[in-house]
Amino acid sequence: MSSRIFAAAALLLTFSPMWAQAQVSPVQIGSDIPKEWHEPANDQDFVKREVMIPMRDGVKLHTVIVLSRGSARAPILLERTPYDAGSFLSGNSPRLRDRLLPGDRIWADNGYIMVAQDMRGKYGSEGTYVMTRPPIGPLNPTKTDDTTDAYDTIDWLVKHVPESNGRVGMIGSSYDGWAVVMALLNPHPALMVAVPESPMIDGWMGDDWFQHGAFRQKMFDYFAEQTSAKREGSAVSRTGRDDYQEMLDAGSAGAYAAAHGIDRLPWWQRLSAHPAYDALWQGQALDKIIAAHPSPVPTMWLQGLWDQEDIYGAVRSWEALKAKGMTANNHLAMGPWYHSQINGRGDVLGPLKWSGDTAAYFRREVLVPFFDTYLRDKKPTQPTPHVIIYNPAEDKWDRFADWPGAGPNALTPMYLRSGGGLAHTRPASGRESYVSDPAKPVPFEQLPVRMGDHASWSTWLVQDQRFVSTRPDVLSYQTPILEKAVRVQGAPFADIFLSTTGSDTDVVVKIIDVYPATNADAPELAGYQLPVSLAIFRGRYRRSFEHPTAIPSGVVQEYKFRLPTVNYTFKPGHRMMVQVQSSLFPLYDRNPQTYVPNIFFAKPDDYRPATITIEHGMSGASAVLLPIVASSTAAEP
pLDDT in tens, 266-288: 999 999 999 999 999 999 999 99
Residue 605 bridge partners (DSSP): none
Supply the pTM of this predicted model.
0.92
Confirm if 235 and 224 have CB atoms less than 8 A apart.
yes
Q: Give 29's pLDDT tier (boundaries 50, 70, 90).
A: confident
pLDDT of 12 > 50? The answer is no
HSE of 293, CA atoms in CB hemisphere, 13 A = 13
3-state SS class at 466: helix
| Spatial separation of the C-alpha atoms in residues 284 and 290, rounded to whole Å | 11
Confirm if 260 and 237 have CB atoms less than 8 A apart.
yes
Phi–psi pair at 315, nearest 5 degrees: -70, -35
Confirm if 65 and 161 have CB atoms less than 8 A apart.
yes
Q: Give 409's pLDDT tier (boundaries 50, 70, 90).
A: low
Confirm if 69 and 363 have CB atoms less than 8 A apart.
no
Q: What is the pLDDT of residue 15?
A: 46
- For domain 210-279, give the CATH number: 1.10.3020.10
Residue 431 bridge partners (DSSP): 615
The string of DSSP codes covering 164-231 is EEEEEEEEEETHHHHHHHHHHTS--TTEEEEEEES----TTTTBTTEETTEEBTTHHHHHHHHHSSSS
Where do the domains of the chain lie? Answer: 46-205+280-400, 210-279, 408-629
Phi–psi pair at 415, nearest 5 degrees: -85, 140
| Spatial separation of the C-alpha atoms in residues 528 and 516, rounded to whole Å | 8
- Return the HEC string of 85-136: HHHHCCCCCCCHHHHCCHHHHHHHHCCCEEEEEECCCCCCCCCCCCCCCCCC
In percent, how much of the chain has pLDDT > 70? 94
Average pLDDT over residues 569-578: 98
- Give start and end residues of each alpha helix (H) in 231-367: 243-250, 253-259, 266-272, 279-282, 286-292, 313-323, 358-362
Residue 400 bridge partners (DSSP): 387
Diameter over CA atoms, the chain: 119
Closest CA to 79 of 42, 31, 112, 126: 112
Q: What is the pLDDT of residue 24?
A: 56
HSE of 303, CA atoms in CB hemisphere, 13 A = 27
| Spatial separation of the C-alpha atoms in residues 596 and 496, rounded to whole Å | 23
Which string of b and e fits 582-593 if b means at least 16 CB within 10 Å? bbbbbbbbbbbb
Cα-only R_g, the chain: 29
Chain segment 452-511, per-residue pLDDT in tens? 999 999 999 999 999 999 999 999 999 999 999 999 999 999 999 999 999 999 999 999
Chain segment 84-130, per-residue pLDDT in tens? 999 989 998 999 999 999 899 999 999 999 999 999 999 999 999 99
Q: What is the pLDDT of residue 405?
A: 61
Average pLDDT over residues 291-309: 97
Residues in CB range of 42: below 8 A, 6 or more apart: none
Q: Do domains 210-279 and 408-629 have the same CATH topology?
A: no
Question: Distances from the Cα of 262 to the Cαs of 231, 544, 600, in angstroms?
Answer: 17, 29, 13
HSE of 590, CA atoms in CB hemisphere, 13 A = 30
Q: What is the pLDDT of residue 122?
A: 97
Residue 373 bridge partners (DSSP): none
Phi–psi pair at 146, nearest 5 degrees: -75, -10
- Give start and end residues of each alpha helix (H) in 519-631: none
Chain segment 335-351, per-residue pLDDT in tens? 999 999 999 999 999 99
3-state SS class at 637: coil
Chain segment 502-540, per-residue pLDDT in tens? 999 999 999 999 999 999 889 999 999 999 999 999 999
| 327 torsion bin: left (phi>0), alpha (psi -120 to 50), beta (else) | alpha
| The domain over range 408-629 is classified in CATH as 2.60.120.260 | yes
- Residue 384 CA from chain centroid, whole number: 24
210-211 and 164-173 beta bridge pairing: unpaired
| The domain over range 46-205+280-400 is classified in CATH as 3.40.630.10 | no
